[in-house]
Amino acid sequence: MNIPIALDRSRLDAALAATQRGYDLLIDGNWRKAADGGVLTRASPAHGVTVSTYARAGAVEVEAALAAARRAFDEGPWPQLTGAERSKLLLNVASLIERDAELLATLDVLESGKPIAQARTEIAGAADIWRYAAALARDLHGESYRTLGPSKLGVVVREPIGVVSIITPWNFPFLIVSQKLPFALAAGCTAVVKPSELTSASTLYLGRLLLEVGLPRGVVNILVGEGPDVGAPLTADPRVDMVSFTGSTRVGKAAMAAASASLKKVSMELGGKNPQIVFPDADLDAALDAVVFGAYFNAGECCNAGSRIILHESIAGDFLAAASTRAAAVPVGDPLDPDAKVGAVITPIHLEQIERHVEGARSAGAEVVLGGRRLVSLAGQFMAPTIVSGVKPAMAIAREEIFGPVLLVLTFRTMAEAIAIANDSAYGLSASVWSRDFDTCLTVSRGVRAGTVWVNTFMDGAAELPFGGTKQSGLGRELGRNAVADYTEEKTLHFHTGPRTARWLPIRQSGAA
Ligand code: NDP
């Protein structure tokens, strides 16, 4: 069984000493408290101590932030700056993220419970994304058509779409806002950002960095508050031109419905139930490592979690035994310890839900071969890495997103059956295939409906590669070379030169009325 990494008070004290506790809201270039004096507090899920106190936005702050973002867009100067000017500012932000990387990583650890080593790579990845967006800012361009005839020229320009509402979840606080905001800014948009109120600190700290590099007032506004109070109006208000949302499929649907009243553009990154298909000819050692990583990374609280393992029946027994041995050796515990691989679960309620999912599978006839319960030896909210085998595709645990460190094992006989099981899901975010045979890899990666299919690897990513889901995993793509264009709208300019050739009314004779 997993040997828990005990919480270390001196590490916590050092982290608390390095970070601030109180945060205000960023509205129109100023830090403001809530008009009604409301506050929210956040306790570290690993340590149980209060780590942040936020001003809590309500209707007054939503109104002020939307008005500021609208004004900053309509009156400028941000949308009118050159690509080079916007790019320079984004590059400066990237440098400040790197300067303060340890602080940002610590903020995410204290609020989300994720391991510090992982948080450091997320912050480094985020800085890289800001640089990529800066590069794209200078390459935003449209098209021209000289093929319409000698007296015509068609020019298609890309204009910033306007005010964007950016709504993010708690599981990758700094990384996800960095997958959206720099691209919106590169396009010339202004934004109101609403992080999850469970993990808002690093996004608010980003607000400081934006002011430090001289972002004009009102271009980015950051509100902390609960979904119905702050997120909902940001999806419905007619002053917003686009909603960029990452979160659950349930809330994503509500956000889309609200946005439809004024026909806003929406970009949705939602949930997943991602299959990893392993064939007998695969490099099984590599596949095992990826399967354990894919299931337990970020305590399984990951849209990309490879939670559905689909094994060829000829290797299922041995693979499962080896996966159990590895899973039992995963270091779980104090997320401030650099050796921890799995940290705390986000809230007590969520921990109970994960346990309920596992109990439901047991009652439905599946077998819990590892873990299945919280780690009681650790104070705080820690779930033991869990493996459930004997899962049938129709069971709830095979269909619903668990969002915890729970790996499910299904089996297949033929390639067609493997693809069918993989596709038997409302979700279609990502998948992987493990085989040394090219035909198998190509056929499966073409057959599985997902936004990303990894072939002999898992959860690799790069700013250059588009990311997003099919089916109920989302709408649209983030990252990739179209990431800035996504925050623009095309405008057609149709030029005509010389005398009008296709007259509607005949030319009148001189002197005629
Ligand atoms: P939620 O959907 O609960 O919340 C996401 C964000 O939406 C939060 O900021 C939340 O605020 C806000 N919100 C809540 N209600 C509304 C509303 N009515 N209108 C507008 N916004 C609202 O997701 P979680 O934070 O629980 O995150 C986990 C989910 O995110 C998982 O399903 C996961 O798969 C998905 N996810 C998807 C990713 C992807 O790229 N595909 C990446 C990461 C996560 P509040 O916190 O106050 O409720």
The pLDDT tens digits for 226-277 are 999 999 999 999 999 999 999 999 999 999 999 999 999 999 999 999 999 9
Contacts of 126 (CB under 8 A, 6+ apart): 97, 174, 175, 178
Residues catalogued as catalytic:
269, 303
In whole numbers, what is the pLDDT of the chain averaged over residues?
96
Contacts of 361 (CB under 8 A, 6+ apart): 368, 388, 391, 395, 396, 397, 408
Quick one: which of 234, 195, 179 has its CA closest to 468? 179
Side-chain half-sphere CA neighbours of 351 within 13 A: 19
* Four-residue CA torsion sign, 305, 404, 396, 374: positive
d(CA 460, CA 123): 16
Check residue 2 and give its pLDDT: 75
The residues facing 154 across adjacent strands are 145, 494
Distance 272 CA to ligand 1 centre (A): 13
Decide: 452 in ligand 1 pocket, CB within 6 A.
Answer: no
Pocket test for ligand 1, best of 192, 246, 473 (most atoms within 8 A of CB): 246
pLDDT: which is higher, 50 or 500: 50
Decide: 196 in ligand 1 pocket, CB within 6 A.
Answer: yes
Q: Please give the helix or strand (H or E) that residue 30 lies within, else none.
A: strand 30-32
Would you say residue 16 has pLDDT above 50?
yes
| pLDDT-above-90 percentage for the chain | 94
Distance 262 CA to ligand 1 centre (A): 22
Check residue 513 and give its pLDDT: 47
Would you say residue 426 has pLDDT above 90?
yes
Distance 253 CA to ligand 1 centre (A): 11
Distance 251 CA to ligand 1 centre (A): 6
Would you say residue 94 has pLDDT above 80?
yes
Per residue in 102-143, pLDDT (tens digit) is 999 999 999 999 999 999 999 999 999 999 999 999 999 999
Decide: 65 in ligand 1 pocket, CB within 6 A.
Answer: no
Distance 49 CA to ligand 1 centre (A): 24
Q: Name the residue with the closest Cα to ligand 1, atom 15.
A: 227
Q: What pTM, to 2 d.p., does this model score?
A: 0.96
Decide: 428 in ligand 1 pocket, CB within 6 A.
Answer: no
Q: Give the DSSP letter of residue 216.
A: P
Per residue in 217-238, pLDDT (tens digit) is 999 999 999 999 999 999 999 9
Decide: 167 in ligand 1 pocket, CB within 6 A.
Answer: yes
In which band, very low, low, confident or very high, does the pLDDT at 376 lie, cut at 50, 70 and 90? Answer: confident
Decide: 232 in ligand 1 pocket, CB within 6 A.
Answer: yes
Q: What share of the chain is helix, strand, coil (3-state, %, to 5)?
A: 40, 20, 40
In which band, very low, low, confident or very high, does the pLDDT at 498 lie, cut at 50, 70 and 90? Answer: confident
